[in-house]
Each structure stands twice: as structure tokens, then as C-alpha cells.
Amino acid sequence: MPPSHVLIVSSLGTERTNKMPYSMQNLFGGKLDKLCEIERGIAAISKSRIVGKQNPLDYTVVKFGDVASDDSKGDGDGDTIAIQPGDVLDGEIGPNAAANVLLQAMAYQPYARNATLCTTGSLPSDAELSMDTEAWNDKFLCLSGPELLRVEAGRGAGDDDEGVLDSKFEQLRQYVKQWSMNYEGDRKGTGLTTPVLVRKSRRPPSEFDGVIARSGVQILFQTTNTGDRYKSATEERKDESDRSAVGGTGAKKPASANKVKPIMIKARKEGGVEVLVEKTTNGDIRIRARRCNIDSKTTVKEMSEEVIVRSLKKAVESWVKARDVTGF
């Protein structure tokens, strides 16, 4: 059976060759540019596979910085491994940490499939016991979407014995719902130029994600139809010819002309931001924003995402600060 998953080990900075120190590393020979071409080539091959005709091929790109001589640079009290989507981290990684990240990405973490991640830090041998399955799952959770924002809101209220019903969780859930209403209807004052729809998130709690309660909203980008309605001169002449052939002479239209089958066009995914309020298995409350409503043909609207995420971060931090002051 042919392989179904390809893992590429690459370097930090392949998407930041215009910034130091990566611009210097790329100066002679364009090493980082060449690695970037490999990354994009593998992703393109994976996305071009024809369903039903070719075996699926998932990919994972793992970006490391320099590999340290050992993992002794950890703090001694546990791991210092950082994992983020894309190419945003800087620093070294210990050999033990690198080996474990590769193992997790290849064998245990579904969110690592068809994703690019960067990682730094260390994993001293005496800290391996502290990195259980739940901890690793949480490290890789940021690749789901991927994640655009995470804000910790502190411990839950713990109003019941099982920890599912929680007044703090409910208050934050309602607060986020109210916040999302700013994007309904007229977008005036939101800073968005892209039309959006606000819908309730149907993403359920997940033991794999370490979440026992989850609620949220999706802010879905809509097409502006700029260009979608454009027709070339040839297409316009053909439409005019078709109209003339059917009824341009004033003659009665044949019965078959009235039985035009509608053409069903699948709606294009324009992207969006899903905002989730979550209570974790250890009793913490958090907010996460993740990219949603995308596929391989979606053009990512980074500026619109940034507007929403910035507004969300400010709103949630204000809520947390007000709750700390009032105690409610």
C-alpha cells in the first residue's frame, strides 16, 4: 500500500526571508527559499489528488530552528515546548523535544495532518512523564483551524459536582453572543469591509480536545460577487443568441424551452472566524478563535480576520478584568 502521509522537516524562517536573521541565512544560495518551494510543492501535490481516482496523501511540515546539543536548557520543572501554526517562532529546539514532536505529528495528532507547524523549546528526560496524552493534544490543538487567538479566562465557578454546569462559563458564553451581534446586519463601526453572516457554532465538546463544555459563534465571510457577475463579450453574445432563438421572433415557445433544468452550483467557501467559549477537563475557562469555512480554494482574508480577532481580544480582556475587580 502506498504511503498516505508525508512528513517534511524544514527550517524556521522559510516564510520570513525578508526579516532578520533569516534574511542573512538566505543571502547566499537562497537556502530558505528552496526549502519553501519544497513545502509548497508537497502541499500542492496533496491538494491536487483526485478523490476516487488517486489515493489520498496527507502532509505535515514541521519547522525547526537550530537543534541544541541537548535538552538541558529547559527550566527543569517540565517542558518548554512551544508549537504554533505557520512560521512564527524563533529559537532552538532540543533533540529530545524534536524527536517527540515528530513522533506526535506522524503517529498521534490528527490536527497535524495537512498543516504546517513550527516548534521550539526543550523536553528534559525527567519531564517526559509530565507530557501525557492530554498535554500533547493541547499542544497540537492550535493547528485546528488553525487557531488565531487563545485567551485564558481563569478557573470555572464549579457550581456542580461534575463541573459541566458553570455560571462563569454561561456568563462568558452570553457575553460573546452579545459581542457577535455587532457584526449582524449593518457592519458600520466594526471596521469590516467584507460582508458577513453570524451563525451559531455547532462544534461539540471533545474529550480529545480536553473540552467538556463548548459554545460559540461563527462569523462567516460572504462573497462580494466582484468578478463573479462579470461576463466576457463572447459570453454576452451567446446569451443574447440563446434568448433570440427561444423567443426573439415572437413565435410561441416550444414546450421543451420551458423545461430548463436549474444548474445547482455549490456555494463557495469564503472563510470565517469561529469563536469558541470552552471549559476544559481541568476546570479552566478559555476563549479560542479559529479559522473556519475554508477549503483548498479559499482565499484567506487575513485583514478581516485580524479586525475580528483584535476586537474579540479587547472585549474578552475587558470582561476578565471587570470580573476580577467586581468578583462576579
pLDDT tens for residues 207-242?
999 999 999 999 999 887 654 444 445 555 666 666
Q: Which residue has the higher pLDDT, 224 or 65?
A: 65
pLDDT, mean of residues 68-73:
78
Enter the C-alpha cell of residue 319.
470582561
Which residue, 8, 22, 13, is CA-closest to 62?
8
| pLDDT of 169 strictly over 70 | yes
User: What percentage of the chain reaches a pLDDT higher than 90?
Assistant: 59
When mean pLDDT is compared across 42-51, 124-133, 254-263, 293-302, the lowest value belongs to 254-263
Enter the C-alpha cell of residue 257.
424551452
pLDDT, mean of residues 284-292:
95
Pairing mode of beta strands 147-155, 284-291: antiparallel
| pLDDT of 193 strictly over 60 | yes
C-alpha 91/C-alpha 82 separation (Å) is 10
Residue 109 backbone phi and psi in degrees, to 5: -110, 105
- The whole-chain average pLDDT of the chain stands at 84
User: What percentage of the chain reaches a pLDDT higher than 70?
Assistant: 78
Q: Which residues pair with 82 in a beta bridge?
A: 120
Q: Using an 8 Å Cβ cutoff, are 47 and 296 in contact?
A: yes
Q: Return the exposure string of 53-81: e unless at least 16 CB atoms fall within 10 Å of the residue's CB, then b.
A: eeeebbbbbbbbbeebeebebbeeebbbb
- Residue 229: predicted pLDDT: 44
Strands (E), 102-222: 115-120, 147-155, 196-200, 211-221
When mean pLDDT is compared across 42-46, 132-136, 214-218, 252-256, the lowest value belongs to 252-256
User: Would you place residue 156 in the very low, low, confident or very high pLDDT band (cuts 50, 70, 90)?
Assistant: confident
pLDDT, mean of residues 93-109:
94
Highest mean pLDDT among 8-12, 229-233, 260-264, 300-304: 8-12
Long-range contacts of 180-188 (CB under 8 A, 24+ apart): 180/217, 180/219, 180/275, 182/311, 183/219, 183/308
**CB-hemisphere CA count at 13 Å for 47?**
12
Q: Which residue has the higher pLDDT, 225 or 304?
A: 304
- Residue 121: predicted pLDDT: 92
Query: Cell 519553501 maps to which residue?
Result: 36
Q: Which helix (H) or strand (E) segment is 291 a member of?
A: strand 284-291
